[in-house]
């Protein structure tokens, strides 16, 4: 079945009612819902409900039932929200996909700081669990299998690797300009587990950490701010000139691929596995989080790409490059597209039809839209119109 889904939070589905939600989705040409199974904190303005939501941090929206180690998931405190998966499955009209945030978990990172990512200075990032730790790897694998057992058609993994430095953490402050070089260097993890893996790969992680810490310290104390293209050139040059840095990046990618492959091997075959490789724009920067697009496409069933861009032209360029990197004559069949049908993307949603039509022309057949509870009804209606007007199966 083609993937025609809308991302949603359990609280929005519960507030609307499962039956009414399914009715709306079907009327708009959708056949599925990609429902948060494990999610993080936030502050969300809900236009249709005229409310503001502060979800519980780092919880699951189902009852965890498997054996975990030191890292254990925390179920949401409201039993009604933990029943939405079962209620959607019982309704049976929509395919249900478990949107599972793996390693972005401030609750667990705060409780278990030894398992978090650490930058070149040794500072821990409580919001980012590091997959190089065997305990974190085991937690992610078990959580994914738990979510995949909720009567779902597919499991959609988010953050299977390291989160970037620029995260939007509560009261995240700086009084110097961000740039891609600075954020990338600050986002690399040099915890003991990462350095041990580097040593096994013949990389002197401690020396690399010291080298990058020195570069960062020099930059932070210099009276200069690198502009966009300058910082991009610095990053490219450092990756070219520092062979250990490039090898360290590839080591991170191999760990994320290893985790996703382990999840796919353990999942029942009837549950498809899709991976959101990045929150970076453009998708080519997914390596910053440890994602290797071609490798992930080989070990998972789908790559699910957030084409979150201000206009349709940028969406189509990014899709072209993503398909190129995934590789193979069947690349388009292995890429799912996520679009936002309203602000701030696609000229506030006005260019959604062009984006849908252009992606379909590139061979992409699977679409999801973000996010049911964050959009006005008019944007959701426009989503349905774009699907029906530009996808062949509706002709």
| Structural domain boundaries in the chain | 4-394
Residue 366 has pLDDT above 80, yes or no: yes
Task: Give the span between the Cα atoms of 138 and 221, in whole angstroms.
Answer: 40
CB 385 within 8 A of CB 57: no
Q: How confident is the model at residue 168 (pLDDT cuts 50, 70, 90)?
A: low
Distances (CA, A) of 201 to 189, 206, 249, 253, 254: 16, 13, 12, 13, 11
**Mean pLDDT calculated for residue range 375-394:** 87
CA separation for the pair 100, 173 (Å, rounded): 28
pLDDT (mean) for 92-111 = 97
Tell me which residue has tokens 């993994």: 157
% residues pLDDT > 90 (the chain): 94
Cα(239)–Cα(249) distance, integer angstroms = 9
State the pLDDT at residue 374.
97
**H or E, element range at 203:** none
Least confident range from 24-33, 166-175, 379-388: namely 166-175
The pLDDT of residue 390 is: 78
Q: What is the mean pLDDT of residues 103-107?
A: 96
- Global pTM reads 0.95
CA distance 5 to 155: 13
d(CA 102, CA 262): 14
Q: Could you tell me the two tokens for 165?
A: 């430095």
Q: Output the CA torsion sign for 111, 261, 265, 306.
A: positive
CA–CA distances in Å: residue 354 to residues 297, 361, 374: 26, 10, 22
Q: What pLDDT, in 10s, does the model give residues 30-73?
A: 999 999 999 999 999 999 999 999 999 999 999 999 999 999 99
Query: What pLDDT does 136 receive?
Result: 98
| Angle CA 19–50–348, to nearest 5 | 95
Tokens found for residue 59: 């919880």
- Please report the pLDDT score of residue 172 as a whole number: 80
**Mean per-residue pLDDT of the chain:** 96
- Which whole number is the average pLDDT over 250-255? 98
Which band of pLDDT confidence, cut at 50, 70 and 90, is reported for residue 170?
confident
Residue 395 clears pLDDT 50, i.e. is over it: no
Per-residue CA distances from 60 to 55, 90, 100, 313, 325 (Å): 11, 20, 9, 37, 33
Burial class (CB in 10 A: 0-12, 13-18, 19+), 174: exposed
Q: What is the pLDDT of residue 388?
A: 87
- SS3 of 101, please? strand
Q: How many CA atoms lie within 13 A of 395 on its CB side?
A: 5
pLDDT at 394 (0 to 100) = 59
Q: Name the CATH topology of 4-394.
A: TIM Barrel (3.20.20)
pLDDT level of residue 175 (50, 70, 90 thresholds): confident
pLDDT in tens, 293-307: 999 999 999 999 999
pLDDT tens per residue across span 197-213:
999 999 999 999 999 99
Beta strand pairing call for 366-369 and 335-339 = parallel
Residue 372 has pLDDT above 70, yes or no: yes
Q: Please state, for a pLDDT cut of 70, what percent of the chain lies above it.
A: 99
Map residue 161 onto helix, strand or coil: coil
Reference 308, options 283, 273, 271; nearest CA is: 283
Residue ranges of the alpha helices (H) in the chain? 10-16, 18-27, 84-91, 106-111, 134-148, 180-187, 192-200, 205-221, 228-241, 243-266, 293-299, 312-326, 352-361, 377-390
At 308-337, the pLDDT tens digits run 999 999 999 999 999 999 999 999 999 999
């Amino acid at each position: 079945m083609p993937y025609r889904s809308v991302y949603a939070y359990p609280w929005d589905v519960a507030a609307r009612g499962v039956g009414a939600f399914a009715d709306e989705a079907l009327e708009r040409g959708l056949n599925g819902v990609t429902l948060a199974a494990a999610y993080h904190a936030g502050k969300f303005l809900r236009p249709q409900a005229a409310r503001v939501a502060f979800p519980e941090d780092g919880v699951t929206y189902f009852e965890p039932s498997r054996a975990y180690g030191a890292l254990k998931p925390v179920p949401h405190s409201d039993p009604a929200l933990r029943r939405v998966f079962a209620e959607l499955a019982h309704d049976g009209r929509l395919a249900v996909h478990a949107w599972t945030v793996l390693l972005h978990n401030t609750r667990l990172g705060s409780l278990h700081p030894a398992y978090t990512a650490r930058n070149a200075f040794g500072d821990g990032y409580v919001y980012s669990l590091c997959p190089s730790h065997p305990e974190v790897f085991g937690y992610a694998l078990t959580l994914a299998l738990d979510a995949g057992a909720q009567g779902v058609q597919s499991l959609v993994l988010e953050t299977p690797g390291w989160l970037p430095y620029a995260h939007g953490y509560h009261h995240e402050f700086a009084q110097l300009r961000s740039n891609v070089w600075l954020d990338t260097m600050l986002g690399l993890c040099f915890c003991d587990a990462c350095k041990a893996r580097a040593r096994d790969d013949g990389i002197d992680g401690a020396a690399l950490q010291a080298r990058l810490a020195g570069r960062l310290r020099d930059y932070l104390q210099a009276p200069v701010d690198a502009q966009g293209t300058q910082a991009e050139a610095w990053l490219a040059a450092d990756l070219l000139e520092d062979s250990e840095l490039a090898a360290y990046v590839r080591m991170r990618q191999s760990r994320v691929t290893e985790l996703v492959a382990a999840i796919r091997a353990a999942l029942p075959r009837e549950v498809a596995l899709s991976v959101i490789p990045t929150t970076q724009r453009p998708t080519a920067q997914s390596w910053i989080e440890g994602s290797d697009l071609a490798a992930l496409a080989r070990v998972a069933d789908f790559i699910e790409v957030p084409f979150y861009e201000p206009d349709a032209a940028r969406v189509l360029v990014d899709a072209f490059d993503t398909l190129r990197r995934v590789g193979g004559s069947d690349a388009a069949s292995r890429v799912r597209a996520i679009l936002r049908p309203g602000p701030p993307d696609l000229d506030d949603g006005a260019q959604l039809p062009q984006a849908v039509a252009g992606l379909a022309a590139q061979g992409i057949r699977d679409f999801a839209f973000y996010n049911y509870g964050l959009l006005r009804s008019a944007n959701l209606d426009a989503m349905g119109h774009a699907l029906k007007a530009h996808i062949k199966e509706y002709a």
